[in-house]
Amino acid sequence: MGGILTVSVGHPFDTCKVRMQATASHAPEYSSTFDCFKKILKNEGVTGLFKGMGAPITTVAPMNALNFFGYGTGVKLFSNDENGGRLASWQYFVSGGLSGIATAVLVTPGERIKCILQVQETTQGYSGPIDVARKLTAQYGIFSLFKGINATLLRDVPAYGAYYATYEAVKFGLASQEAGQDPWLLLKTILSGAMAGLAYWGVGIPADVLKTRLQTASEDKYPHGIRSVFSELMKTEGPRGLYRGAAPVFIRAIPANSACFVGIELTLQVLSKVS
């Protein structure tokens, strides 16, 4: 439920992020996040903002299961009688990094398909996620779907480390010391999720730009993968190019990740009542 809410709330911002990242900053197609939204709505309608959503929605349930499993495994490894399950920040960071490793194999093909659909301004190329997967596999082989997996790991291992460490720190800092139900729990969950999302993208956006450029390029454009992307980007755009599309990313991070953790907490409450 947390993953579904994340995708549903955040996908329009993600579409703008991918469109802006896929174009060079020295020859931008979109001058700002607002300009990107405006042009998509004008040329493609509201549905244009939700292009490629089928891929992440399809993979979000198993991906989130693996993500929290990886994180939970890390937390259990560090938990003992001495700390009572309350870990140090670096231990939450390492546990979060394990979740990034656990999900990379599922995340990469889903994001590869999503990004290709998001940069497509018409429906002439691909009709949907299944069509993208079928054509890529037929033309380039199954491993084409995993193009950008190194960039995904480069992004998700440190970014999920920051994500979970921040969530736990903010949640612990806001925790009520009084017994009984906290009337501010929902608001505190929203704030904790928002801060976690900002931390994730604060760490992960440079690698995400490299991943987007690689995954949306033609098969032979970058022979050495993210090394070739990074080299070209530094020559043509400089370090600022690594933060292309940052505005929609950070705008998206607040509602999307707040929705994620609210979904998780509410679902757990419902499940505890019916079990």
* Cβ neighbour number for residue 126 with a 10 Å cutoff: 20
- pLDDT above 70 for 215: yes
For residue 199, the model assigns a pLDDT of 97
Count of H-run helices and E-run strands, the chain = 9, 0
Q: Quickly count: other Cβ atoms within 10 Å of residue 208's Cβ.
A: 28
Helix, strand and coil percent figures for the chain, each rounded to 5: 75, 0, 25
Question: Domains of the chain, with CATH numbers?
Answer: 2-274 (1.50.40.10)
Of 197, 200, 205, 201, residue with least CA distance to 240: 205
pLDDT of residue 147: 95
Task: For 83-114, write each residue's pLDDT tens digit.
Answer: 887 899 999 999 999 999 999 998 999 999 99
Quote the mean pLDDT of the chain. Answer: 89
| pLDDT bracket for residue 55 (50, 70, 90) | confident
Give the whole-angstrom CA distance, residue 146 versus residue 111: 9
> Does the structure show a pLDDT above 90 at 134?
yes
Write out the H or E segment, with its range, that includes residue 118.
helix 89-118
Answer for the pair 256, 9: CB distance below 8 angstroms, yes or no: yes
Show the tokens assigned to 102.
């656990």
Residue type, 60: V
| Residue percentage of the chain with pLDDT more than 90 | 51
pTM over 0.75, yes/no? yes
On the question of pLDDT at 138 being above 90, the answer is yes
pLDDT tens digits, 155-173: 999 999 999 999 999 999 9
- What tokens were used for 75? 């937390």
Distance between CA atoms of residues 64 and 55, nearest Å: 14
- At residue 184, the pLDDT reads 83
Task: Give the pLDDT band of residue 123 (cuts 50, 70, 90).
Answer: low
Does 27 score more than 80 pLDDT?
no
8 band by pLDDT with thresholds 50, 70 and 90: confident
Position 32 scores a pLDDT of: 85
- Are 107 and 65 in contact by the 8 Å Cβ rule? The answer is no
Residue located via tokens 């019916």: 274
Q: How many CB atoms lie under 10 A from the CB of residue 56?
A: 23
Q: Which of 41-55, 119-133, 257-271 has the lowest mean pLDDT?
A: 119-133
Closest CA to 234 of 242, 243, 224: 242
